[in-house]
Amino acid sequence: MIFSDFEYFVFFIFVFFTAWYLFPAVFREKTKEIRILHIFLLVCSYFFYMNWDYRFGGLILLSTAIDYFVGLKLDKEERERYRLFYLYFSLITNLVFILGFFKYYNFLANSFNAITGEVFGANWVPILSIILPAGISFFTFQSLSYTIDVYRREIAPERDFVRFALFVSFFPQLVAGPIVTARTFMPQLYAPKEFHEIEFRVAIRYFALGYFKKAVLSDWMAPTIETIFQDPAGHDGYALIIGAILGGTQVYLDFSGYSDMAIGSAKLLGYKLPTNFNLPFIATTVSGFWRRWHMTLNSWLRDYVYIPMGGSRVTPIRRKFNLWFTMFVSGVWHGAQWTYVFWGSLNGVWYVIEEFWNDMFPKKKDTWESKAIFLKILSPILFIFQNFLQTSLFFLGAIFFRSLSWENAWIHLKGIFVLQSGILRPYMWKDCIWTVLIVGAGHILGYWIFEKGKWKEIPANLEFAAYPFLFLVLNLATPENSAPFIYFQF
């Protein structure tokens, strides 16, 4: 069951009407009714997750139970060595025995066997048939943030197991984010919900925009992308460039589309999820891009990896290493393949190069009027150049992110730089041009609305009257074959 499926609409309508009409808002200030509502949402969340495989429910329950009891122990214990023991117990259990085993065991086993096989000619480590649970990286990081914050005494432990379990498994953001932290989400479970406070128009806008990104644009370009990335050696150099552009854009449309639908679904139930994407393709720097892309993961890595390593409170060289290592962790988090590891490391290298550039050429405010006029003329040209450079670096990395194997990635990259001859279909150009135009127009419109605030509110009656027409258009534009969400594998 995915957000763009008809089954999800049926499921969500059931949850929505049951939550708001079986548990009226007037009673929600009472603890008993709130608890019943939480139990209902928890059951629905587990049903949603176990719809893929019923065994997934036991795994997320195990992770939830471990961090719940660790949080209680951390609160009671005053001796630092024992508190460290409980923290390490949570980290090792979640990162090694849960996330490490299900996501990385076969990757590490294959890598080890590839090295030892050259010497000993045998596979020393067995390869297991492991089903990768959907969204395991998301709920693991989410649960770990709670344990770490309790250890730091930044938040109090949650003593109600149902509330804590709902925080970990809340279905709108369960399988592909946005990643939420206990400090931002747990207080919402204590606040009474009022039906009249629902931002219906905002929620529907989020969901409709997310559906358009994922079910229309992303799924529409999926066949072209699969054709190019499955056989990079057989395609023309220009086709490979098109593949890199479409592949990177599809990741954005797919993931931001899911995040938008998750935010819209949560809003309709009275909960607020954090923004996960903010017009990343208008960025002109590496750092600016990652402040707009997968914002909740980057915030998590900043708070729980970068800052604990010293952040920017260390020497300049150590700070650059901290930045690179944080991006390296991001690559490892994304997938159990060497292509993801290299992708994260490569983005870390771009980050470090930018830092060295800023050290050599620090920005200075120019107060000369003549130069200010010159900068006004130069500014658009400089923006286009910097934006083109940053976007090119992103699409270059997208080759490794979207390639099926390490070998395919290097064949794809080599084919671009030597402009190899091969297959180049007219529809590839058409898909690329239309994608760039639509996504570019969306970013320009989004910039004027969200960055500049140039937006006049549409009359409510007119907007609601347009919904049936909008839903009809989206339905007609949706391809027959839907592609799975890319980030479900993470």
Point out the residues that are catalytic: 334
**423: phi then psi, degrees, rounded to nearest 5:** -75, 130
Contact 318, 310 (CB under 8 A): yes
**Which residues make Cβ contacts (< 8 Å) with residue 291, sequence separation at least 6?**
278, 283, 298
274 and 184 in contact (C-beta within 8 Å)? Answer: yes
Residue 36, classed as helix, strand or coil, is: helix
CA dist., res. 154 & res. 136, Å (int): 25
Phi/psi for 397 (5° steps) reads -65, -30
Candidates 41, 38, 40, 53; CA nearest to 1 is 53
Q: Where are the alpha helices (DSSP H) in 231-337?
A: 237-268, 286-290, 295-301, 316-334
Measured CA to CA, the distance from residue 171 to residue 45 in angstroms comes to: 5
Could you give the angle at the alpha carbon of 288 between the alpha carbons of 285 and 294, nearest 5°?
A: 130
Rounded to 10 degrees, the C-alpha dihedral 225/227/229/231 comes to: -170
The count of other CB atoms within 10 Å of the CB of residue 426 is 7
DSSP class of residue 210? H
**Residue reference for tokens 């969901």:** 207
Q: Residue with structure tokens 């098109």?
A: 242
